[in-house]
Structure 1
Amino acid sequence: MTALDTPTAPPTAANRWQALAEQSLRNEPLSQAQAMEVLACPDDELLLLLDAAYRVRREHFGRRVQLYFLMNAKSGLCPEDCGYCSQSKISDAEIPKYNLLNKEKLLDGARLAAEREASTYCIVISARGPSEREVRAVEEIVPEIKRRHGLKVCACLGLLSDAQAERLKAAGVDRVNHNLNTSESHYEKICTTHTYKDRVDTLRSVRTAGMEVCSGGIIGMGERPEDVADMAIELRGLEAESIPVNFLNPIDGTPLEGAAASGGEDLNPRKCLKVLAMFRLVCPRSEIRIAGGREIHLRSLQAMGLYAANSLFVGDYLTTEGQPAESDYQMLEDLGFEVVISEAQA
């Protein structure tokens, strides 16, 4: 046998994941098949996959971590029927229900966000879309938040019209969160009172108004791997600057109470890490945030998620508690990562 006849050795696992990292670093889109390959990574190769994901994360974000603080500015009372949500009209979950918080409480939340070294303050209301009163309240409070604390502001107000998006931009809102939540093909299984297209249209209004797009999803709602891959690819196409990746917290009283994870009872820490690595490789330049459910599903492996992701919520979520902020700070210190703070906090 001559040298030309010598068979080529199959690529090693490390070479396979590093090849995807190189493709991502060249900003060449991954295909659905490649994204699903990442989700199907054997457990024995998980560290090799995370090494590839971290290579991409390090190129674009170094060792930096963005912290977000979330304020549930209006709780419950929502007319939508999203099956995962404790605030929907079909939920029997025992949660606080109140209309929009007053200015003093919203400013107090911003103060707490700054104290916790968050660079972005997220104002969230439960609604199909904001009322005129709610839009005016946001217009009034955002300049004051920026003046006092120098925080970026992300507003999550439901479906928006072009005109509403333009008003938020004029008021100083930096970005708008409106999650796709899942793929287009799976969407009608989790919500019927609005469509996937309604959500995409809102994100396009946000972009047209000149604000940044924050949009992600929830893993573990009975979707297929194809749905997770399709959602990531859609978010890349939308050029979302920030992508929160939630892992379903099956809240008592919601239709998804006690729901099994996607594909069965396997929403374990290893699967969550593969999801985060897939989002990083598909969306290399986006901020990937480990969001709701991380304490429940990543558990002792939360720190490893930050080798793919580069952002966290610090504090509680909408109607569920997060881990103590001190635990997050210790985790980041142990990793040797640095918290990004605003110029006003420096």
Structure 2
Amino acid sequence: MLLTTPTWNTLADRSLAGETLTRDEALAVLQAKDEVLLDQIAAAYRVRRHYWSNRVRLHYLLNAQSGLCPEDCHYCSQSKISTAEIEKYPLMAQEKILAAAKRAAELQAGTFCMVISGRSPNEATFGKVLEAVREVKANYDLKVCACLGLLSEEQTHRLAEAGVDRVNHNLNTSESNHDRIATTHTYTDRVETVKNVHAAGITTCSGGILGMGESNDDVIDLALSLRELGVTSVPINFLIPIPGTKFADIKQLTPQQCLRILCLFRFLLPSQEIRIAGGREVHLRSLQPLGLYVANSIFVGDYLTTPGQSATQDWDTIADLGFVLEAVDGSPISVSK
């Protein structure tokens, strides 16, 4: 089924009206020919522009605790089954975390994302995370996002009290595909953490990793699950096949397919902050600017165990598009070249 240009605009109209695409329509978005890609992007941009105007949010990612993880996530270089050569260390000292927060502010990021490896933090580590959050909030005008693994409702309430603005916990893939990705925790475990975050009154951040061998139906199911959960911030990662991981040999994505995936998520999650996360530089390559006509957020700097491109390149791209950065308070910041 190949939809014509007017129909892409019809999908945009329905998305703006709060309606959900049918499965056939969603499949058509993912299966469309490359020659209509710009028409899809133009329709998705109508939705993005309605909710986000020409603003772009920057996030800065800190891998505050690396490796040492008992989980078997097949995509992850930090998992117990990975032989990837990465740096492994326990939770960083507070001064290093504060130095990273300072760097986030210098790079004009609005959100400082602190990530620790592991299934769930023990009490000692959790207490140190809370202390670090309080110090970051006291010293810098930054939103703080914490990604700490599986969390109980009691833990999420303590994070809220410490000043955490949002918690990230990705669903990663569809429920039916989850057991291909990890076996040491369940899809339900992940959903429960997202629900606990919501119950604590913290902004929910949850997305996925695309390109792990999933079907188009899996991509659609992931987006629909995030919509059903009412997730506010949606990071879209594209698998970086890291040597030493179980998924090292999967090469499923093209720049065009990545853009179609972004369009689908924008149609199904019209008002959400959609962030092009890990794998942006690897898979979109020279087509990265087109992604910002659909998504409204990116990470600036490096990722957990893989490098990103320079902040200057990102700033130049944003300026060339005629877009502006969004400050912590929501006000626009022009990007000068």
Indicate the TM-score class for this superposition, using the shorter chain for normalisation.
over 0.9
Aligned to 2:318: 332
State the 4+ residue runs in structure 1 displaced beyond 3 angstroms. Answer: 343-346
Give 2:237's match in structure 1, choosing from 246, 254, 275.
246
Shift of 1:139: 1.5
Partner of residue 274 from structure 2, selected from 278, 281, 288: 288
Aligned ranges for residues 109-128 of structure 1 at < 5 Å? 109-128=100-119
Query: Contact between 2:75 and 2:245, CA under 8 Å: does it hold in 1?
Result: yes
Shift of 1:150: 1.2
Deviations 1:53-93 (A, max 9, x none): 00000000000000000000000000000000000000000
User: Equivalent of 1:298, from 275, 284, 287?
Assistant: 284
Q: What CA deviation, in whole Å up to 9, does each residue of 1:232-277 have, x standing for no partner?
A: 010011111110001110000000012131xxxxx11111100000
Work out the CA distance in 2 between the residues paired with 1:102 and 1:305: 36
Maintained 8 Å contact 1:32/1:230 = no
Rounded to whole Å, the distance in 1 between the matches of 2:20 and 2:4 is: 21
For normalisation by structure 2, the TM-score amounts to 0.96
Quote the offset at 1:143 in angstroms.
2.1
Could you tell me which amino acid in structure 1 is paired with residue 51 of structure 2?
A: H
Correspondence for 1:72 among 63, 68, 71:
63
Q: 2:51 maps to which residue?
A: 60
Larger radius of gyration: 1
Match status 1:308 vs 2:299: no
Aligned residue for 1:204?
Answer: 195
Q: What aligned pairs does 1:8-157 form with structure 2 within 5 A after superposition?
A: 13-157=4-148
What are the ranges of 5 or more consecutive residues in structure 2 without an aligned counterpart?
none
Q: 3-state SS of the aligned residue for 1:181?
A: coil
Report the residue type matching 2:286 in the other structure.
S
TM-superposed deviation, 1:32? 2.5
Write out per-residue CA displacement over residues 124-151 of structure 1, whole angstroms, 9 at most, x where no aligned residue. 0001001111211122121221221110
Corresponding residue of 1:220: 211
> Structure 2 CA distance, aligned partners of 1:134 and 1:35?
42
Contact 1:67–1:117, Cα closer than 8 Å, also in 2: yes
d(CA) in 1 for partners of 2:330 and 2:291? 29
Residue in structure 2 matching 1:165, options 156, 163, 186: 156
The CA distance in 2 between the partners of 1:211 and 1:57, in whole Å, is 24
Within the candidate set 250, 265, 277, 2:263 is matched to: 277
The answer for the alignment partner of 1:321 in structure 2 is 307
Q: How far apart are 1:344 and its partner, in Å?
A: 11
Q: Aligned residues, how many?
A: 331
Secondary structure in 1 matching 2:180: coil
The 2-side partners of 1:98 and 1:84 are apart by 20
Question: Which whole-Å CA distance do the structure 1 matches of 2:8 and 2:136 have between them?
Answer: 43
The 8 Å contact of residues 150 and 344 in structure 1, kept in 2 or not, is answered as no
Q: Which one-letter code corresponds to 2:112 in the other structure? A: Y
- Tell me whether 1:232 sits opposite 2:218 in the alignment: no
Cα RMSD (Å) of the superposition?
Answer: 1.4
CA distance in 2, matches of 1:149, 1:36: 44
What are the ranges of 5 or more consecutive residues in structure 1 without an aligned counterpart? 1-10, 262-266
2:278, 2:303 within 8 Å by CA — same for their partners in 1? yes
Equivalent position SS for 1:257: coil
When the two structures are superposed, what TM-score results if normalisation uses the length of structure 1? 0.94
Q: Which amino acid aligns with 2:318?
A: L
Distance 1:325 1:56, change over 3 A: same
Instruction: Mark the CA change 1:207 to 1:344 in structure 2 (over 3 Å): closer, same or farther.
Output: closer
Tell me by how many angstroms 1:343 deviates: 4.2
Evaluate the alpha carbon distance shift between residue 204 and residue 12 of structure 1 in structure 2; reply closer, same or farther with a 3 A threshold: closer
Give the Cα separation in 2 of the matches to 1:250 and 1:180. Answer: 19
Relative to structure 2, which stretch is displaced further, 99-108 or 334-343?
Answer: 334-343
SS at match of 2:59: strand
Matched, 1:188 2:182: no
Q: Which amino acid aligns with 1:334?
A: D
* Displacement after TM superposition at 1:31 (Å): 2.5
Q: Deviations over 1:158-191 (max 9, x none)?
A: 0001111110011110110000110000000010
Alignment match of 2:254 (pick from 268, 278, 281): 268
1:116 partner amino acid = L
What amino acid sits opposite 1:190 in the alignment?
I
Residues 231, 344 of structure 1: CA spacing in aligned structure 2 closer, same or farther, 3 A cutoff? closer
